[in-house]
C-alpha cells in the first residue's frame, strides 16, 4: 500500500478529509448535505455564479431540498465556489455534472471533459476523483484517466480514480442518499480501496465491483431495464385500448403475483435525467464493437412515440364533441417529469405541449411545483401556472392530465373539466368525458 493510499484512507476514516462536490444539482446537493451532516468539511464547486451565491446565503434552488437544510450546512462549514483552483484543498473530488445527448442522440461529454480540464491543473497527490455522472462503459478510462495523468500524477499510486454512479429518486420519501446502496469501481485495486473509504462513512451499503467499466455498465443496465419495461407496457397500453381493456386494471391484477412480475405503469412518455437518455449511451458505444442493440432502440422508439399518441387521443376526443384542436384551449396538468417534484428535465409533458401548440391550439398549464415555465434549451413557453378553480377548469375545451401530482384536486377536475385526457390512470371508473391515453 503506497503512502498516498494509506494517508488518504486514514483521512476518510477519521473524517479529517475535505470532500469536494463538483456540480451542485439534484445529485450533488443531497451528497453535500450527507457528508456535511456526518462531520466532513465540504466544498462545493459549480460554474453557475448565481447558484453559488444563493447556496452561500442558505438558499436552495431545488424544491424538495428546503432552505433550512442549506442554511444549516453553511453554518456548519459548507461553502460553495466557482473557483476551480480551490480543488487542491480537497481530498476527494466527486463529479456530479450533466451527461445529456446531443441533437443526434449521441453522448455529450462536454460537461465531464470541461470539468476535468478545469480540475487537472489543481490536482495533488493523495486525492481521489470519483465520477458519478451516468455515461457509457469506458468513459472513466478513456476520458478522465489521461487528463488526470497529465498532471504528472500516477493513477493508482499518487492519485486515485473511481466511478460510482449516482442513484437518486427525487421526491421519493422512502429513500435518501444514506440508504441507497452505492456501486463503486476503481481503475486499480488501490483506487477501489480509497474509493470505498470515501463512501463508506456516508452510505449504509457500498457495493464494490471489479472495474470502472463494470460500474458504468451497472448504471446503464438499471436504467435500460426500466426504459425497456416501460416501453413494453406503453405498447401493451395501445393494444389494450384498441381491445377495450383498461391496462391499469390489468397491471394491478398482474401485480398480485408474488413472484416473477414487477409492475410498470404507462404514461405520456419518458422523462427525467436518466431513463430517456441512458439507453442511448450504450447503443452508441455498442456500435464501436459492431453491435446493434435492437431491443433497447425499439423501446426507445415506443416511448418516444407516446406524446404523439396522447395528442391523437386528445384530437379524437375533441372531434367526438365536434371541435377542431386548432380552435381549442387546452390545459396541461403537471409539467414536471414525475409526480411531486419540480424537475423539468426531459419531461414528456412539455413534448405534449409542443405538439398541441404546433396544431394551432392555445395551450396553458397548471403545476403546483412549477410556478413559472423555466428557461429550457429546447422549449420556450412564456407561461405561468394556472390556478385550478371551477371557472378556470370549465373555460378549457380539454385538460390533459400529464403528471399526476398529489396536490391536484382530482374530484374538482373531474366535476368541472369539459374533457379529460388521462395519461396516468388516475381515473379508474369510466366516464363519458374521460379518455384514457
Active site positions, annotated:
274
Q: Is 256 exposed, middle or buried (0-12, 13-18, 19+ CB in 10 A)?
A: exposed
For residue 224, give the 3-state DSSP assignment. Answer: helix
Beta bridge partners of 21: 44, 94
| 8 Å CB contact between 159 and 127 | yes
On the CB side of 164, how many CA atoms lie within 13 Å of its CA?
36
Q: Are strands 206-209 and 329-333 parallel, antiparallel or unpaired?
A: unpaired
DSSP letters along 233-294, please?
HHHHHHHHHHTT--HHHHHHHHTT-SSS-------SS--SSSTTTHHHHHHHHHHHTT---H
How far apart CA 140 and CA 129 sit, in angstroms, is 10
How far apart CA 387 and CA 190 sit, in angstroms, is 56
Take residue 370 and report the three cell numbers written for it.
412549477
| 8 Å CB contact between 21 and 96 | yes
Beta bridge partners of 372: 384
How far apart CA 398 and CA 107 sit, in angstroms, is 38
Amino acid at each position: 500500500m503506497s503512502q498516498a493510499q494509506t494517508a488518504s484512507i486514514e483521512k476518510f476514516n477519521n473524517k479529517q478529509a475535505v470532500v469536494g462536490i463538483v456540480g451542485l444539482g439534484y445529485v450533488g446537493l443531497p451528497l453535500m448535505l450527507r457528508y456535511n451532516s456526518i462531520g466532513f468539511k465540504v466544498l462545493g464547486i459549480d460554474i453557475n455564479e448565481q447558484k453559488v451565491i444563493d447556496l452561500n446565503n442558505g438558499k436552495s434552488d431545488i424544491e424538495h431540498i428546503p432552505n433550512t437544510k442549506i442554511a444549516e450546512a453553511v453554518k456548519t462549514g459548507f461553502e460553495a465556489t466557482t473557483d476551480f483552483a480551490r480543488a487542491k484543498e480537497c481530498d476527494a473530488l466527486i463529479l456530479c455534472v450533466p451527461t445529456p445527448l446531443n441533437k443526434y442522440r449521441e453522448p455529450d461529454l462536454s460537461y465531464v471533459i470541461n470539468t476535468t480540464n478545469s480540475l487537472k491543473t489543481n490536482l495533488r497527490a493523495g486525492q481521489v476523483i470519483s465520477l458519478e455522472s451516468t455515461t457509457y462503459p469506458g468513459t472513466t478510462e478513456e476520458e478522465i484517466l489521461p487528463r488526470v495523468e497529465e498532471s504528472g500524477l500516477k493513477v493508482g499510486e499518487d492519485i486515485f480514480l473511481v466511478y460510482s454512479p449516482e442513484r437518486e429518486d427525487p421526491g421519493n420519501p422512502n429513500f435518501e442518499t444514506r440508504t441507497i446502496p452505492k456501486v463503486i469501481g476503481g481503475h486499480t485495486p488501490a483506487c477501489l480501496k480509497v474509493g470505498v473509504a470515501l463512501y463508506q462513512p456516508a452510505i449504509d451499503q457500498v457495493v464494490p465491483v471489479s472495474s470502472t467499466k463494470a460500474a458504468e455498465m451497472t448504471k446503464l443496465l438499471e436504467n435500460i431495464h426500466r426504459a425497456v419495461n416501460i416501453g413494453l407496457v406503453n405498447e401493451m397500453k395501445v393494444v389494450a385500448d384498441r381491445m377495450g381493456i383498461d391496462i391499469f386494471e390489468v397491471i394491478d391484477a398482474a401485480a398480485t403475483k408474488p413472484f416473477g412480475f414487477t409492475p410498470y405503469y404507462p404514461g405520456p412518455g419518458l422523462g427525467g435525467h436518466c431513463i430517456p437518455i441512458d439507453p442511448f449511451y450504450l447503443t452508441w458505444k455498442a456500435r464501436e464493437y459492431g453491435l446493434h442493440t435492437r431491443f433497447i432502440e425499439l423501446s426507445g422508439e415506443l416511448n418516444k412515440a407516446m406524446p404523439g399518441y396522447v395528442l391523437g387521443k386528445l384530437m379524437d376526443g375533441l372531434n367526438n364533441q365536434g371541435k377542431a384542436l386548432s380552435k381549442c384551449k387546452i390545459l396541461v396538468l403537471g409539467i414536471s417529469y414525475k409526480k411531486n417534484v419540480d424537475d423539468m428535465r426531459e419531461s414528456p409533458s412539455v413534448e405534449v405541449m409542443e405538439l398541441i401548440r404546433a396544431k394551432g391550439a392555445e395551450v396553458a398549464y397548471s403545476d403546483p411545483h412549477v410556478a413559472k415555465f423555466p428557461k429550457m434549451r429546447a422549449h420556450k413557453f412564456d407561461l405561468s401556472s394556472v390556478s385550478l378553480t371551477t371557472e378556470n377548469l370549465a373555460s378549457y375545451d380539454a385538460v390533459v392530465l400529464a403528471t399526476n401530482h398529489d396536490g391536484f384536486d382530482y374530484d374538482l377536475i373531474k366535476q368541472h373539466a369539459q374533457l379529460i385526457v388521462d395519461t396516468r390512470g388516475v381515473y379508474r371508473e369510466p366516464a363519458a368525458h374521460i379518455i384514457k391515453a
